[in-house]
A and B are shown apart, each in its own frame.
Chain A
Amino acid sequence: MEITIELLVFLVFALLTLAGGLGVVLARNLFRAALLLLLSLFGVAGLFVLLAAPFLAAVQVLIYMGGITILIIFAVMLTRGMVRARNVFSEQWDLAAIVSLAFLALVVYLLWQLQQGSSAALFAAPPPEGGLENPIAALGAALVDPAQYMLPFEVASVLLAGALIGAIYIARDDEVE
């Protein structure tokens, strides 16, 4: 296998992602675990850049690193007794093991299929028209095109609106008539 710069960069980001993920699981300090999650997400953002999807990478940094992780850290800091976790193993470790093994099996199966060439068609879908010159415009058009992703997009919007209303309902003062 030839060693190219892309490969080296890929290895660096893959290592960041995996090491970060491992750190999240093994860290006893929940705050540090959250920071390591950040490292892992950063690695994924780097992988997106390597896949020529800078928009996804920027969104990954903006929403996952800048938004969601901060909310996680907030929750961690406001939770008493979560700072020094005594037990590294979660109480649901058996269930988690089954789920992750199933996912691993799925990924390995897909990769194997790809190697055999039988599901190559699945991965070799043609890029959308004009998608290569202006990926953001193509993405935007795809999201509002009924033939493409409009339905999932609207479903996600409804889900988010529902979550928003639910949050307001829970946070509301009970004394308000």
Chain B
Amino acid sequence: MLRDALIQAGMNAGLATFLDILGGVLVAATFGMAWVLFGIWIERKVAARIQNRVGPNRVGPYGLIQNFADALKLLIKEVIVPRNADRPVYFLAPVLMVVSVILIAAVIPFSSVVIGTDLNIGLLYVLAVGSLGTLAVLMAGWGSNNKYALLGAFRAVAQLISYEVPMVLALLIPVMLAGSLSMQDLVRSQHVWFLFVAPIAAVLFLIAAHAENGRAPFDLLEAESELIAGYNIEYSGMAFAMFYLAEFMHAFFVAIVFSVLFLGGWRGPGAETYPILGMFYLGIKSMVVYFVTVWLRLTVPRVRIDHLLALNWKIMVPLALANVILTAFLFKLVPTPDYSAARAIAEGEFTGVASGLYRLLGPEFVAMLPLAGVLLVGNIALLVAAAALLRWLARRRRQEVEALVDETEYAPGVAAAE
């Protein structure tokens, strides 16, 4: 749009294209940051309500301007650099952290037409870019020249690397169902939301993404009630604020990516014909997911580091692997939905209940229902089996412990009686 207007105004075509792309990049990059100012307000309000407080209410109506005041405060604060810090590394770390999150915005389909670039490897790109954040953590820990920061970075990286495994395995499921890595194709193939087709994958992804982001209950990186801070202990002023910004933006983008992958993205009534509606739907869906993550963050107690890693390697990874195998098997078992036949029925002559159903609910939706039903049942069965296995294991361990307690407790008594 911008490109055509510029060319009409007599500008060189190459330059116009460049400016067009530059404009798109600027919008995509600032969108996240601008959002954060507002998103933090929501988060603080929700947090306050959950903790029976009022939250920000002084600056502006309902405290809406509070975050601008805070941002200004952080901007004018002095950035204190440790004397022996590795300066280039120290200053690059927060920048890399923010960049790794902002880059995700480039492939998010906000509506059927509004997308930065529809890469055919979109989802892989999201993962690749996200893995750069891990590096920023290590750089921050090292660059600060502080052994506590370094220790914090080690812990953080152990957590981030571990949780990448179940996340990738969980994301395989939507890719398998859609047969594509492109974000736009992933949205378009969700005639039935993938949340209902692959609930295990959805929950695993949400947990893993939460852990990747390092927010409560997985906030061991900077457990504020136990440590002063983690890898970012030596950062102050705006450098610190960038880590903070990256964390909030990441939480928000996780909500968007979840909505895109499992809640049908911009899909909704009329979204194909009026793309602006799609943005609206995606906004509502991601806000719901965002609310759930904030809710989790404020109500679930922090997990211990060994529990954190055990949860990942002993439960989530095996479950994700079993889920991949099961889904692949069921997906091959059920015949692929015949969308063109369904469309033909819906557009053909009205013959009875069947064609009425096709028209009412949309032909693709009805055509996908058998597949979705089988996969849903399979998922539930897998979940029940996993729960039964866990229960059996836990019971066996408890019996072992109790047997041990019996021996040690009653042995002295027996000796005294003799």
Q: Which residues of B contact A134 (CB under 8 A)?
A: 120
User: Are A66 and B142 neighbours in the complex by a CB distance under 8 Å?
Assistant: no
Q: Which chain B residues lie closer than 8 Å to A31 at the CB level?
A: 86, 89, 142
Let me know if B139 and A70 touch, CB within 8 A: no
* Residue A32 is within 8 A (CB to CB) of chain B in the complex: yes
Indicate if B119 sits at the interface (CB-CB under 8 A): yes
Shortest CB–CB separation between residue B365 and chain A, in angstroms?
A: 26
Residue of B whose beta carbon sits closest to that of A61: B128
B132 partner, pick from A54, A55, A66, beta carbons under 8 A: A66
**Given the interface contacts A61-B128, A66-B128, A70-B157, does A32 sit within 8 Å of B86 by beta carbon?**
yes
Q: For residues 126 through 174 of chain B, which have their beta carbon under 8 Å from a beta carbon of chain A?
A: 127-129, 131-132, 134-135, 138-139, 142, 150, 154, 157, 161, 164
Tell me the complex Cα distance, A65–B138, Å. 13
B158 nearest in chain A by CB position: A74
Q: A31-B86, A77-B142, A136-B121 are in contact. Are A66 and B157 (CB under 8 A)?
A: no
A54 touching B135, Cβ below 8 Å = no
CB-contacts of B68-98 with A (<8 A): 86, 89
Q: Is B178 an interface residue (CB 8 A)?
A: no
**Contact assessment for B124 and A55 in the assembled complex, using a CB-CB cutoff below 8 Å:** yes
A58–B89 CB distance below 8 A: no
Q: Nearest Cβ in chain B — how far from A72, in angstroms?
A: 11
Alpha-carbon gap, A176 to B248, bound state (A): 45
Q: Which of A55, A59, A61, A70 contacts B138 (CB 8 A)?
A: A70
Confirm or deny: A67 has a beta carbon within 8 angstroms of a beta carbon on chain B. Answer: yes
Tell yes or no: B181 within 8 A of A by CB.
yes
What is the bound-complex CA distance between A35 and B119, given in angstroms? Answer: 27
A159→B125 CA distance, assembly (Å): 27
Q: DSSP class of B's interface residues: helix, strand, loop or mixed?
A: helix
Which of B124, B135, B138, B157 contacts A58 (CB under 8 A)?
B124
- Residue A38 CB within 8 A of the other chain: yes
CB distance B135 to A65 under 8 Å? yes
Which residues of A (109-136) have their CB < 8 Å from a CB of B? 134-136
Q: Inter-chain contact count A-B, CB under 8 Å?
A: 60
Main secondary structure of the interface of A (DSSP, over half): helix
Assess whether A62 is interfacial by the CB under 8 Å rule: yes
Inter-chain contact A66/B131, CB cutoff 8 Å: yes
Q: Please give me the residue from chain A that is nearest to B153 by CB atom.
A: A77
- Are A58 and B128 in contact, with the CB atoms below 8 A? yes
In the complex where A61-B131, A61-B132, A66-B128 touch, is A55 in contact with B142 (Cβ < 8 A)? no
B134 in complex: contacting residue of A55, A59, A70, A136, CB < 8 Å: A70
Q: Are A38 and B89 in contact (CB under 8 A)?
A: no
Q: How far is the CB of A134 from chain B (nearest CB, A)?
A: 7
Q: How close is A51's CB to chain B, nearest CB, in angstroms? A: 14
B138 CB contacts on chain A under 8 angstroms: 70, 73
Q: Are A35 and B139 within 8 A (Cβ)? A: yes
Given B89, B119, B127, which contacts A62 in the complex, CB threshold below 8 Å?
A: B127
Asked if residues B134 and A66 are in contact (CB atoms below 8 Å), the reply is: yes
Q: Considering the complex, give the chain B residue whose CB is closest to the CB of A5.
A: B14
Cβ contacts under 8 Å, A69 to chain B? 135
The smallest C-beta distance from A164 to any residue of chain B, in angstroms, reads 13
**Which of B89, B124, B150 interacts with A32 by CB under 8 Å?**
B89
A59 vs B168: C-alpha distance when bound (angstroms) = 13
Closest chain B residue to A29, Cβ basis: B86
User: Bound complex: CA of A54 vs CA of B134, how far in Å?
Assistant: 22
Can you list 22 residue pairs at the A/B interface with Cβ under 8 Å? A31-B86, A32-B86, A38-B135, A54-B119, A54-B121, A55-B121, A55-B124, A58-B121, A58-B127, A62-B131, A66-B128, A66-B164, A67-B131, A69-B135, A70-B157, A73-B138, A73-B142, A74-B154, A74-B157, A135-B120, A136-B120, A136-B181
- Apart from A70-B138, A70-B161, A136-B181, list 6 A-B contacts with CB within 8 A: A35-B89, A65-B135, A70-B157, A74-B157, A77-B150, A136-B120
Query: Nearest 6 A-B pairs (CB), nearest first?
Result: A66-B131, A62-B128, A61-B128, A58-B124, A58-B128, A58-B121
